[in-house]
Amino acid sequence: MNAGIDLQGIFIQSLRDFGIPAGVAKAIWMPLPMFLMIIGATVGVLVCVWLERKISAAAQQRIGPEYAGPLGVLQPVADGLKLVFKEDIIPAKADSLLFTLGPILVVIPVFLSYLIVPFGQKLVISDVGTGIFLWIALSSIQPIGLLMSGYASNNKYSLLGGLRAAAQSISYEIPLALAVLAVVMMSNSLSTIDIVEQQSGYGILGWNIWRQPIGFMIFWIAVLAECERLPFDLPEAEEELVAGYQTEYAGMKFGLFYVGSYVNLVLSALLVAVLYLGGWEFFIPLDQLAGWLGVSENSAWLQVITASLGITMTLLKAYFLVFIAILLRWTVPRVRIDQLLNLGWKFLLPIGLVNLLLTAGLKLAFPFAFGG
C-alpha cells in the first residue's frame, strides 16, 4: 500500500504559515483541484490526439504531422485554435436551445468523472465511497446529449446518429456495469482507492486482470463502444451518416464533441488501469521497493518516490491502452448496427451475468484469493 502525500494538508499548512486563516486557505484550495483536473484532462487530450495522428500514420506507412512543432506535437493545438476561430453556425430550422445544450451535456459528465480517478493513495480529487457508482451514473448522461443534438439538428443523418448513440449506449452500459460489479464484489467497496489498494501487496500478480480476465474483456469492449471508437463508431459512421449527430455542427460546438470523445477515451483507459491493472501500483510490492532502495517504508523520500512513480505508472498503463485502441481502429473493420446490438445483448450481457455469478461463487469458495 502506498504511503501517499496529503496535498490538501500541505497546501493549507503552507498558506497558514504565511499568516492566512485556515478558512481562507481552504476556500483557496477548493477550486484548485477542479482547475487542475480541467488542465490535466485537456493536456491528456492533446497528447492523445497527437498519438492518434502519429500511430495512425505509422499504421498506414506514412509520416503524419511533422511541421507544427517538433514531430508535429503542436498540431493538436493548431487544430483547437482553428475550431475556436471558425464560425459558429446554427441551422435555420434547428432547435437552437437543444442544439446548444447537446454538446455541453456530452462534455460535462466526462470531465466530472475525472473526480474519482486516483493517481495515488491521496492523489485523487474526491475519494467518495461510491466513486464507481458515480461514474456509471455520469456516463449515462452523455447519450442524452448525443440524442438531443441529433434531434435538435433537424437533419435525418443527425437523427439517425443520435438514435444509434442512444441504442448503443443502452446495450453496452449493462454489461459494463456487470463487469464493474464483479470487481466491486472482490474489493468490498465502490471506492476507486479501495479497489486499487485491494490489488496491492503482491505486485503484478495481485492485479485484477488475472482474477477477472472475462470481466476485463467485457469492460474493454464496452468502453470502446461507449467511446464510439472503431469498430463501434456507428453513431458517426462517415460512409453511412456523413458525420451522424455532428453533421450540422461547426466551430466550438463541434470542438466540444471532438474534445469529449478523446477525454472519454483517456478516462476509460484510466479506469481500466485502476480497475484491472493495479492503478498506481508498481510491478513489485512497496516493501520490496523500499528494501531495494534501502529506505524505511515511512520515510518522506519513499513517499515522494512512490507518489511520482504512482502518477507515472497510472499514465503509462492508460496510454498503453490508448495505443491499443488506436491500433484497433486500423486493424478491425466496422461492424453493422445489428451486429453491434447483438454483441451487447446476446453475448456480453449473458457472459457478464455468468462472470458475476462465477465471481460470487469463487469468493465464497476461496475468500483469500477473491477478497472475501
What's the pLDDT at 299? 67
Q: How many of the other CB atoms lie within 10 Å of CB of 260?
A: 24
Contact 237, 334 (CB under 8 A): yes
- Between 104-118, 231-245, 316-330, the lowest mean confidence (pLDDT) is in 231-245
Can you tell me the distance from the alpha carbon of 55 to that of 47, in angstroms, rounded to the nearest whole number?
A: 12
**Distances from the Cα of 61 to the Cα of 55, 230, 231, angstroms:** 10, 20, 21
Element housing 273 (H / E): helix 251-276
Of 119, 111, 117, 161, the closest CA to residue 139 belongs to: 111
Specify the residue for cell string 437543444: 98
What's the pLDDT at 356? 94
Specify the residue for cell string 502525500: 5
- pLDDT for 235 beyond 90: no
DSSP sequence for 186-226: HHT-S-HHHHHHHT-SSGGGGSHHHH-HHHHHHHHHHHHHH
DSSP H stretches of helix in 3-127:
7-17, 22-29, 31-59, 75-85, 96-113
Can you tell me the distance from the alpha carbon of 280 to that of 270, in angstroms, rounded to the nearest whole number?
A: 10
- What's the mean pLDDT in 6-26? 74
- Between 166-180, 209-223, 282-296, 329-343, the lowest mean confidence (pLDDT) is in 282-296
Element housing 178 (H / E): helix 156-187
What's the pTM? Answer: 0.89
- pLDDT for 218 beyond 80: yes
- pLDDT for 215 beyond 90: yes
3-state secondary structure of 28: helix
What's the pLDDT at 3? 39
Instruction: Tell me the per-residue pLDDT of 89-133, one tens digit each, with 9 for 90 and over.
Output: 888 888 889 988 989 998 999 988 988 888 877 777 777 888 898
Can you tell me the distance from the alpha carbon of 225 to that of 315, in angstroms, rounded to the nearest whole number?
A: 22
- What's the mean pLDDT in 221-233? 88
Instruction: Tell me the per-residue pLDDT of 257-300, one tens digit each, with 9 for 90 and over.
Output: 888 889 999 999 999 999 999 888 877 766 666 666 666 666 66
- pLDDT for 74 beyond 80: yes
- pLDDT for 6 beyond 60: no
Contact 203, 282 (CB under 8 A): yes
244: alpha, beta or left? (left if phi > 0; alpha if psi -120 to 50) = left
Can you tell me the distance from the alpha carbon of 284 to that of 12, in angstroms, rounded to the nearest whole number?
A: 33
**Mean per-residue pLDDT over the chain, rounded:** 85
- Between 76-80, 296-300, 316-320, 362-366, the lowest mean confidence (pLDDT) is in 296-300
Query: CB-based contacts of 308: which residues, under 8 Å, 6+ apart?
Result: none
348: alpha, beta or left? (left if phi > 0; alpha if psi -120 to 50) = alpha
Q: How does residue 18 score in pLDDT terms, banded at 50, 70 and 90?
A: confident
Instruction: Tell me the per-residue pLDDT of 145-194, one tens digit each, with 9 for 90 and over.
Output: 888 998 898 888 898 888 888 888 888 999 999 999 999 998 888 888 88
Q: How does residue 371 score in pLDDT terms, banded at 50, 70 and 90?
A: low
Can you tell me the distance from the alpha carbon of 121 to that of 264, in angstroms, rounded to the nearest whole number?
A: 23
- pLDDT for 221 beyond 90: yes
Q: How does residue 334 score in pLDDT terms, banded at 50, 70 and 90?
A: confident
Q: How does residue 348 score in pLDDT terms, banded at 50, 70 and 90?
A: very high
Can you tell me the distance from the alpha carbon of 254 to that of 97, in angstroms, rounded to the nearest whole number?
A: 16
Percent of the chain with pLDDT over 70: 91
**Distances from the Cα of 43 to the Cα of 6, 50, 337, angstroms:** 24, 11, 33
- pLDDT for 217 beyond 80: yes
Element housing 173 (H / E): helix 156-187
- What's the mean pLDDT in 350-362? 93
Q: Which residue has the higher pLDDT, 40 or 6?
A: 40
Total residue count of the chain as it appears in this document: 372
Please give the DSSP secondary-structure letter assigned to residue 121: S
Percent of the chain with pLDDT over 90: 24
